């Protein structure tokens, strides 16, 4: 009897211990599982920050009458009375909320100027399919009696903090050197909206708007150029044999020394370009001799 009671006591204690062990193990497992789930949730938040993803397509650069702009009252109205009806400003809108009421005001601020005679006008340059930037261009207003009228800068609007940056590659896109020959369109924005191809008489280049960089992707050889025609008016006007189709660039290469009729092309010490016929007459319009087409691909 004593032995049975002793054994039962031992079995009872053992049972208690087993229950305690299973209980502790269960609590430990539950804690570890909770930690794992929390870690996974944290990783998902890090990998999929849905709330912080920026899609440029969610934003609208909306043009509206300058008379409704916040800078309107600061402008000198007598400078542009004739054009006030057509003058525009642009605002940044998302989900019907105005985030930036005036891009013109941002341009004036970035140039450290106060609005005067509406020196600047703005227009959309590129709305990419991805990334964190929208791009617009600013031009000097020809109605404000400025020396140079035309586009002078591409600005990147950072959608993460609405800050503004003027891109250094603007000078290549808009050929801002007043001593260069006038050229027909010398750039094309690629499908994604963050890159563009630009060219001049000596080569083709790839511009990355996000990184504000320009790299060479084709250079002509000696005695060659990318000029397909030259017309003289107030100065030389260049046509170029470059076409961009999707992400494929077709580069027309031409002879820099002779026309398609075999007349010599000459460039004097001042950089003036001209061709002479067999009789010695200066040609006012001519086409350099075509050499070949080269196809380039943008990755």
Q: How far is CA 194 from CA 57, 171, 288, in A?
A: 13, 17, 34
Question: What's the full length of the chain, in residues?
Answer: 299
Q: What is the pLDDT of residue 43?
A: 43
Q: What pLDDT band is residue 1 in, cutting at 50, 70 and 90?
A: very low
Q: What is the mean pLDDT of the chain?
A: 79
Q: Is 210 exposed, middle or buried (0-12, 13-18, 19+ CB in 10 A)?
A: middle
Q: What is the DSSP letter of 54?
A: -
Per-residue pLDDT at 21 exceeds 70 = no
- What residue segments make up the domains of the chain, in order of their start? 54-166, 175-299
Per-residue pLDDT at 165 exceeds 70 = yes
Radius of gyration of the chain (CA): 34
Record the pTM: 0.74
Please state the three-class secondary structure of 265-292 as a single string.
Answer: EEECCCCCEEEECCCCCEECEECEEEEE
Per-residue pLDDT at 177 exceeds 70 = no
Higher pLDDT, 177 or 81: 81
Q: How far is CA 215 from CA 5, 205, 224, in A?
A: 93, 6, 20
Parallel, antiparallel, or unpaired: how do β-strands 248-259 and 288-297 relate? antiparallel
Q: What is the pLDDT of residue 50?
A: 41
Q: What is the DSSP letter of 186?
A: -
Per-residue pLDDT at 88 exceeds 80 = yes
pLDDT digits (tens, 9 = 90+) for 42-74: 444 343 444 467 888 899 999 998 889 998 888
* Torsion of the alpha carbons at 160, 162, 163 and 166, rounded to the nearest 10: 100
Task: State mean pLDDT over 123-151.
Answer: 80
Please say whether the beta carbons of 121 and 139 come within 8 A.
yes
Q: What pLDDT band is residue 87 in, cutting at 50, 70 and 90?
A: confident
pLDDT digits (tens, 9 = 90+) for 232-287: 766 677 888 899 988 799 999 999 999 999 999 988 887 778 888 888 888 878 99
Please say whether the beta carbons of 189 and 126 come within 8 A.
yes
Q: How far apart are CA 226 and CA 239, in angstroms?
A: 9
Q: How far apart are CA 187 and CA 168, in angstroms?
A: 16
Tell me what percent of the residues of the chain surpass a pLDDT of 70: 72
Helix (H) or strand (E) segment spanning residue 35: helix 2-47
> Collapsing DSSP states into helix, strand and coil, what is residue 181?
coil
Q: What is the pLDDT of residue 19?
A: 54
Q: What is the pLDDT of residue 260?
A: 94
Q: How far is CA 177 from CA 18, 121, 148, 235, 295, in A?
A: 88, 20, 11, 14, 28
Q: How far apart are CA 107 and CA 96, in angstroms?
A: 23
Q: What is the DSSP letter of 32?
A: H
Task: State mean pLDDT over 193-213.
Answer: 94
């Amino acid at each position: 009897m004593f032995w049975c009671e002793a054994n039962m006591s031992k079995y009872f204690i053992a049972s208690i211990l087993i229950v305690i062990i299973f209980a502790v193990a269960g609590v430990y497992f539950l804690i570890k599982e909770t930690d794992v789930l929390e870690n996974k949730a944290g990783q998902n938040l890090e990998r999929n920050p849905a709330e912080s993803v920026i899609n440029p397509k969610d934003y609208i650069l909306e043009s509206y009458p300058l008379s409704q702009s916040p800078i309107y009252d600061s402008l000198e109205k007598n400078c542009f009375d004739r054009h006030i009806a057509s003058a525009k400003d642009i605002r940044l809108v998302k989900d019907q909320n105005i985030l930036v009421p005036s891009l013109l005001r941002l341009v004036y601020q970035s140039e450290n100027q106060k609005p005067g005679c509406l020196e600047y006008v703005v227009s959309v340059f590129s709305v990419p399919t991805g990334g964190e930037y929208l791009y617009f261009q600013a031009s000097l207003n020809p109605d404000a009696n400025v020396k140079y009228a035309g586009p002078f800068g591409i600005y990147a609007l950072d959608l993460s903090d609405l800050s503004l940056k003027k891109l250094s590659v603007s000078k290549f896109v808009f050929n801002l050197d007043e001593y260069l020959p006038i050229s027909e369109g010398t750039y094309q924005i690629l499908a994604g909206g963050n890159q563009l191809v630009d060219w001049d008489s000596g080569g083709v280049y790839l511009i990355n708007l996000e990184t504000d960089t320009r790299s060479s992707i084709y250079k002509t050889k000696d005695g060659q150029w990318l000029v397909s025609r030259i017309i003289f008016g107030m100065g030389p006007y260049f046509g170029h044999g470059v076409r961009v189709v999707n992400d494929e660039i077709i580069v027309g290469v031409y002879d820099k020394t002779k026309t398609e009729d075999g007349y010599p092309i000459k460039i004097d010490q001042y950089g003036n370009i001209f061709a002479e016929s067999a009789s010695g007459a200066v040609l006012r319009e001519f086409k350099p001799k075509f050499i070949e087409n080269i196809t380039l691909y943008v990755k």
